[in-house]
Amino acid sequence: MYRKITLDNGLRILTTPMPHTRSVGVGIFTGVGSRYESKATNGISHFIEHMMFKGTPRRPSAQQISETIEGLGGILNAGTGSEATTYWAKVAHHHLPVALDLLVDIFHHSTFEPQEVEKERQVILQEISRLMDVPGSWVHVLIDRLIWPAHPVGREITGTKESVMRIRRDDMLDYVARTYTPRNTVISVAGNLDHEKVLEQLSKELAGWEAKPVPSFLPATEPSPGPSLQIQFKEIEQAHLCVGMRGLSFNDPDYFKLRVLNVVLGEGMSSRLFLEIRENRGLAYSVGSYASSLSDTGAVVLYAGVPPQKAADVVSAMMEQLELLRKKQVPQAEMTKAKEFIKGRILLSMEGTFANAQWFGKQEVLNQDVLTVDQVIERVDAVTAPDVQAVAQHLFTTEQLRLAAIGAFKAEEDLRARLGL
């Protein structure tokens, strides 16, 4: 269990003691990401995340920032999502004061020097180019666009080349001032730590941080009529395709039912998609599914990498598996296997200190119920076969389906027909 202290300005500080460990994980979680952006500023959250590592008055270069942690054998990193941005470090437990000091310094005092902004702009443009050059990654961008057309959730987290070129230093400073607020931020620490010392150090640095309103985002709308299929021609040996549809938010009462359903469908080498499409039919090397969830929406996506001439057969096989889950309840043995898969993966992932810091910190900043591992396991165990079938019947409908594909396709009619569009 963790301890939680809320400062007067709204900043939440969480500590999770793990006295048997020799490390500590620290994360600063701020509740802002790409869905908070306008079309014109798409990518600004990600741009800001990069800039936080470029210099502060006390550490004026990226090298000094990285060496502060790497010089201790630690790890320093960050990540931008649709609804949250994370800055984190993991170090030996006796170096915790240094990790806290460094993370607060970059989060609160980064200078966004103009020359560094321009240098990093070029780096991000290269990052976007790299993403576009990897069809197995880019196809997931395309399916998001189809699932959430003309909505911030459907835009790239990195932004586009055009939007990144438009973002200016003043835009970033204004965005940070409006969205990086204490009430919108959680600092979570887990490992071999002293709660009172952590609280003393962070309070000294951040208690005077001015309280401001929590930013808001555009709610997800109901799926609207629009393009249901996008084929991008690319002369490559293997085609990449995604079949996707709206899923469930992590606040939905059926969220854990969907997690079990997804494991049955396509997560892991014993899932139905893997066994049928790869093992039984030999149609694809890489195949599977995932369910992503945000605070008010989500998606279920099936993916495969296939020879272009076999793509239509793979789509048909995917449709068969979706229909089977709609029509028949999952056998009890398969239900048990799926639940144990989820529980085992959770327990294995929680062996690290930063994993524990992230478990509580991210839940806290996204304003969902903060569940312990045992509470999640209880909810997974409570899922029944009729529950899974009901979710499949609700989500796996023809009008919801979208298809994105990249490859050397001759025509799209066959793919559209196999999808039932």
CATH code (residue 391) = 3.30.830.10
Flag whether pLDDT at 398 surpasses 90: no
Residues 6+ apart with CB under 8 A from 315: 241, 243, 403, 415, 418, 419
Q: 3-state secondary structure string, 249-287?
A: CCCCCCHHHHHHHHHHHHCCCCCHHHHHHHHHCCCCCEE
Integer-rounded Cα radius of gyration of the chain:
23
Its domain, for residue 260, covers 229-419
Flag whether pLDDT at 314 surpasses 70: yes
Does 237 lie in the same domain as 163? no
Flag whether pLDDT at 420 surpasses 80: no
Give residue 411's pLDDT band: very low, low, confident or very high (50, 70, 90).
low
Provide the number of structural domains found in the chain. Answer: 2
Does 238 lie in the same domain as 169? no
Flag whether pLDDT at 367 surpasses 90: no
Least confident among 115-129, 153-167, 208-222, 403-417: 403-417
Mean pLDDT, rounded, of the chain = 95
Flag whether pLDDT at 417 surpasses 80: no
Flag whether pLDDT at 76 surpasses 80: yes
Does 181 lie in the same domain as 296? no
Please give the single-letter amino acid code of residue 15: T
Give residue 378's pLDDT band: very low, low, confident or very high (50, 70, 90).
very high
Does 147 lie in the same domain as 71? yes
Q: What is the pLDDT, as a whole number, of residue 1? A: 81
Q: CA–CA separation, 119 vs 53, rounded Å?
A: 13
Query: Where is the domain boundary, 157, 175, 206?
Result: 206
What does the block give as tokens for 267? 């997560």
Does 311 lie in the same domain as 196? no
Residue in 234, 254, 235 with CA at minimum distance from that of residue 246: 254
Does 166 lie in the same domain as 21? yes
What does the block give as tokens for 158? 């990195």
Q: What is the pLDDT, as a whole number, of residue 236? A: 92
In a domain, 224, yes or no: no
Choose, from 37, 49, 156, 267, the residue flagged as catalytic: 49
Q: CA–CA separation, 173 vs 125, rounded Å?
A: 20
Least confident among 13-27, 247-261, 364-378: 364-378
Please write the tens of the pLDDT for every residue from 218-268.
Answer: 999 887 766 689 999 999 999 999 999 999 999 999 999 999 999 999 999
Residues 6+ apart with CB under 8 A from 210: 9, 182
Q: CA–CA separation, 4 vs 374, rounded Å?
A: 19
Q: What is the pLDDT, as a whole number, of residue 166? A: 97
Residue in 289, 291, 341, 337 with CA at minimum distance from that of residue 314: 289
In a domain, 215, yes or no: no
Query: Where is the domain boundary, 151, 171, 206?
Result: 206
Determine the average pLDDT of the residues in 331-348.
98
Does 184 lie in the same domain as 286? no
Contact 273, 266 (CB under 8 A): yes
Answer positive or negative: Cα dihedral of 361, 363, 369, 373: negative
Flag whether pLDDT at 164 surpasses 70: yes
In a domain, 218, yes or no: no
Flag whether pLDDT at 332 surpasses 90: yes
Query: Where is the domain boundary, 173, 206, 239?
Result: 206
Q: What is the pLDDT, as a whole number, of residue 410? A: 73
49 assigned to active site: yes
In a domain, 220, yes or no: no
Q: What is the pLDDT, as a whole number, of residue 409? A: 83
Does 121 lie in the same domain as 72? yes
